A and B are shown apart, each in its own frame.
Chain A
Amino acid sequence: MTLAAATATTAHPTLTTVAAESHGFLSPTGVEVAFLLVGLVTFGAALVTVTTKQLVHAALWLVVALGGLAVEYLLLTAEFIAWVQVLIYVGSVVVLLLFGLMLTRAPIGRSPDADSGNRWAALVVAVAAAAALVWVVADAFRTTWIDLDGPAAGSTEATGASLFQNWVLPFEALSVLLLAALVGAIVLSRKAKAESSSPPLNSRAATGSSPSAPNSRNRPIRRNGRSEATRSAAGTEPTARGTASTTKETGPTEASNPVEATNPTEQEGAR
Chain B
Amino acid sequence: MHLAYPAVLAALLFCTGLYGVLARRNAILVLMSVELMLNAVNLNLVAFDVWLSKAAEETLHSGQALTLFTIAIAAAEIGIGLAIVLAVHRNRGTADIDKLRDTAEGHGPEDTDDDARTAEPAAETGRTGKAEATA
Contacts and interface: CB of A to CB of B under 8 A. Distances in A.
A263 to B, nearest CB: 5
A100 interface: yes
Chain A interface, DSSP helix/strand/loop, else mixed: helix
29 contacts: A1-B12, A32-B2, A35-B5, A43-B13, A46-B17, A69-B39, A78-B64, A81-B42, A93-B78, A96-B82, A104-B28, A115-B23, A116-B97, A118-B22, A134-B11, A154-B61, A162-B59, A163-B68, A171-B69, A177-B76, A180-B76, A188-B84, A189-B86, A198-B133, A199-B123, A202-B126, A256-B90, A259-B86, A263-B79
B101 interface: no
B3 A214 contact: no
A46 B40 CA distance: 11
Given A66-B39, A93-B75, A270-B71, A142 B121 contact: no
B131 to A, nearest CB: 9
B42 A62 contact: no
A256 B133 contact: no
Given A130-B15, A137-B11, A185-B79, A116 B98 contact: yes
Contacts, number: 372
Interface residues of B, number: 89
Give the one of B9, B36, B53, B74 with max A CB within 10 A: B9
Contacts of B130: 194, 198, 230
A12 to B, nearest CB: 8
Contact of A9 (B2, B62, B75, B91): B2
Contact of A177 (B39, B42, B73, B124): B73
B6 A76 contact: yes
- 8 closest A-B pairs by beta carbon, nearest first, are A216-B93, A199-B126, A122-B22, A50-B20, A181-B76, A126-B19, A162-B61, A130-B15
B82 to A, nearest CB: 4
B94 A153 contact: no
B86 A100 contact: yes
Given A62-B32, A116-B98, A198-B125, A166 B60 contact: yes
Contact of A81 (B7, B26, B67): B67
B29 A114 contact: yes
B93 A234 contact: no
Interface in B92-121: 92-98, 118, 121
Given A137-B11, A188-B80, A126 B16 contact: yes
A73 B68 CA distance: 13
Nearest to B132: A233
A141 B39 contact: no
A32 B15 CA distance: 22
B89 A147 contact: no
A23 to B, nearest CB: 9
Contacts of A192: 86-87, 90-91
B74 A93 contact: yes
